Structure 1
Amino acid sequence: MLAVEASEVVRLRCETLSHGDEAAGQEAVLMVSEKIAAAFEAAASLLAGATPTAVVQRYREHVAANARRLSANEAP
């Protein structure tokens, strides 16, 4: 499910980035910083004893939040 959900976020981000405006630049910076933060969070969770299932669930929460944010910004 994570892959399916993430593909929609990739589509929305590509659409935003394709505009090439200031919002696209901000989205690119946000995307990279979120990925780095998510990787650190996942590693810390695993070191603290979280299960891989719990880590994937947390990634799904991040993906869902991004989908909501990007969908709200989508032009009609």
Structure 2
Amino acid sequence: MYNPWLALSLKAVQMGVEAQSVIALRMLRLATGGARMEAEASRMVTEKVAAAAEAQAVAAASALSGGSPLVAASKALRVVKKRVRANKRRLSRH
């Protein structure tokens, strides 16, 4: 039997593992100090607030349009996952 909540949970775990690598890359950037460290620290806080607001707005819009809780959660996860991947790409570059 297929459980869509299990599939969503597995996607969330995958995103969590990817987020851990972003955290490691950010810690390396913060450890270097200087202007790049200050810019990264500021960007980190700003991005988290923006990602949370966007995910909440997407989930609320889905719920208000009659979508199921699973659809709302999937859309919110997609927003956060997109941000995590973008940060991983950006921080992996030299």
Same fold, TM-score > 0.5, yes or no: yes
**How many Å separate the matches in 2 of 1:57 and 1:46?**
10
Q: What's the CA shift for 1:60?
A: 0.9
Q: What are structure 1's unaligned runs of at least 5 residues?
A: none
Q: Does structure 1 residue 61 correspond to structure 2 residue 82?
A: yes
Alignment of 1:1-76 (within 5 A): 1-49=14-62, 51-73=72-94
**Count of aligned residue pairs for this structure pair:** 73
**How many Å separate the matches in 2 of 1:59 and 1:39?**
8
Output the TM-score relative to the length of structure 1: 0.90
Q: CA RMSD in A?
A: 1.0
Which has the higher relative contact order, 1 or 2, with Cα contacts under 8 A spaced 6 or more apart? Answer: 1
Q: What's the CA shift for 1:7?
A: 0.2
The C-alpha deviation readout for 1:16-55, integer Å capped at 9, x for no partner, is 0001111000000000000000111011111101610121
Q: What are structure 2's unaligned runs of at least 5 residues?
A: 1-13, 63-70
**Runs (4+) off by over 4 Å:** none
Output the TM-score relative to the length of structure 2: 0.74
Corresponding residue SS for 2:33 = coil
Structure (1 or 2) with the larger CA radius of gyration = 2
> How high is the sequence identity, in percent, across the aligned residues?
38
